[in-house]
């Protein structure tokens, strides 16, 4: 396992030297800290951990939860039989039920990927009343809520990534193309936006900041369509298929809030006979293996690595801090990394 972590660090360092040094260094630091977490005084034999994922049927969260459980057991030494991972089935009532069951079962800490981040106040109170610390992941509760944890000394925190950064990187990837996204040379970039679940701050911020990167650079933009695809590949495909029928060559850029939807978009783009990086640009977020391979093959313009490795390690380490009674910040962010044809191979190596 050491080896795996080392190769991970080296690869991150490689990416760092190529792309965004300051940022990737921080990711490296996060991974280093993760590898070195002090387990002294933690009862790894008996500690019970309750984990609930908003739904199992999500490409990114599947990678995340697999790495989270692997890290908790293989690297930190917790027992598999003491870790319960439940499928929230995209239903908040169902998930709240699971959380109540965790409380009854007497778990020592929870790691929760809420179905609805707006239910954080209620869930936090449930956990706090039962004296169980909670680490929220992936879907960020509102700032007022995380401020409340800090103000009232509630043992709750959010570990995630700042979606404004991923949106900005998507916009920059378009700006960095040979024509800055203006394929037809009419002086403006005409795009469609395939959005994740709009209740989710990641979807809101990626949508806003991808376009903001263009307008901040003084580029004129035209939004042809904005539609929710709920992070889902099949929905992404349908939306882009319909948009291509409606707007045809007017579409110069397809922004997708995640790679699953971008992979769906790519199917629609290819079926319509359009050619990515020649007559249309396509960007996603996450750096799923399929997306990275398509970037290498020239079928996607870029993506942004949503570092599920750094995030899951940080979430687990933070749970350990709670178990040890240490102070924890209310919000902990792990950096994104831009992923284009220049470094797709390095990020693929890191994920292997």
Interaction site with ligand BGC (CB under 6 A): 54, 58, 60-61, 138-139, 200, 202, 231, 258, 260, 285-286, 306
Task: Identify the sign of the CA torsion 212, 260, 309, 73.
Answer: positive
Minimum Å gap between C-beta 60 and ligand BGC is 3
d(CA 313, CA 329): 16
Closer to ligand BGC at the Cβ: 58 or 172?
Answer: 58
Residue 285: Cβ-neighbour burial (10 angstroms; 0-12, 13-18, 19+): buried
Nearest to ligand BGC of 328, 334 (CB atom): 334
Which residues partner with 49 through β-bridges?
83, 109
Q: Compare residues 288 and 323 and give the one whose CB is closer to ligand BGC.
A: 288
CB of 164 to ligand BGC, least distance (A): 13
Distance CA 84, CA 69 (A): 10
Helix or strand run (H / E) with residue 51: strand 49-53
Taking the complex as a whole, the smallest distance from the CB of residue 52 to ligand BGC amounts, in Å, to 13
Number of continuous H segments (helices) and E segments (strands) in the chain = 13, 12
| Shortest Å distance, C-beta 10 to ligand BGC | 25
Tokens of 254: 């397809």
For ligand BGC, the closer CB: 232 or 346: 232
Nearer to ligand BGC, 78 or 255 (CB): 255
The residues facing 50 across adjacent strands are: 84, 110
Instruction: Name the minimum Å distance from CB 202 to ligand BGC.
Output: 4
Q: What is the separation of C-alpha 206 from the centre of its chain, rounded to a whole number of angstroms?
A: 11
Minimum distance between the CB of residue 222 and ligand BGC, rounded to whole angstroms? Answer: 25
Question: Nearer to ligand BGC by C-beta: 61 or 323?
Answer: 61
Give the CA distances from residue 238 to residues 195, 235, 243, 247, in Å, rounded to whole numbers and listed in that order: 13, 5, 8, 14
Distance CA 49, CA 319 (A): 9
Least distance CB 258 / ligand BGC (angstroms): 3
Q: Nearer Cβ to ligand BGC, position 94 or 279?
A: 94
């Amino acid at each position: 396992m050491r080896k795996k972590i080392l190769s991970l660090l080296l690869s991150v360092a490689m990416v760092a030297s190529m792309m965004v040094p300051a940022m990737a260094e921080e990711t490296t630091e996060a991974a280093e800290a993760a590898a070195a977490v002090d387990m002294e005084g933690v009862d790894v034999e008996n500690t019970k951990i309750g984990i609930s994922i908003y739904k199992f049927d999500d490409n990114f969260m599947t990678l995340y939860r697999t790495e989270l459980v692997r890290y908790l057991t293989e690297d930190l030494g917790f027992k598999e039989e003491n870790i319960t991972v439940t499928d929230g089935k995209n239903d908040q009532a169902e998930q709240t039920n699971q959380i109540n069951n965790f409380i009854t079962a007497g778990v020592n800490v929870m790691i929760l990927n809420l179905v609805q981040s707006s239910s954080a106040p209620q869930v936090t109170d449930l956990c706090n009343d039962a004296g169980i610390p909670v680490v929220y992941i992936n879907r960020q509760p509102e700032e007022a809520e995380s401020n409340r944890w800090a103000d009232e000394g509630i043992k709750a925190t959010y570990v995630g990534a700042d979606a404004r950064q991923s949106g900005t990187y998507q916009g920059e990837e378009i700006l960095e193309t040979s024509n800055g996204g203006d394929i037809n040379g009419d002086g403006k970039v005409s795009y469609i936006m395939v959005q994740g679940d709009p209740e989710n701050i990641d979807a809101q911020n990626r949508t806003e900041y991808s376009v903001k990167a263009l307008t901040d650079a003084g580029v004129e933009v035209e939004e042809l369509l904005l539609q929710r695809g709920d992070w889902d590949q099949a929905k992404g495909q349908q939306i882009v298929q319909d948009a291509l029928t409606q707007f045809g060559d007017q579409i110069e850029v397809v922004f997708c809030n995640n790679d699953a939807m971008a992979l769906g978009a790519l199917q629609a783009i290819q079926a319509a006979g359009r050619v990515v990086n020649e007559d249309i640009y396509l960007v996603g977020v996450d750096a799923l293996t399929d997306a990275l391979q398509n970037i290498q093959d020239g079928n996607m313009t870029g993506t942004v690595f949503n570092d599920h490795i750094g995030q899951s390690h940080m979430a687990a380490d933070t749970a350990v801090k709670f178990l040890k009674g240490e102070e924890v910040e209310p919000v902990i962010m792990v950096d994104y990394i831009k992923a284009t044809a220049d470094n797709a191979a390095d990020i693929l190596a890191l994920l292997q």
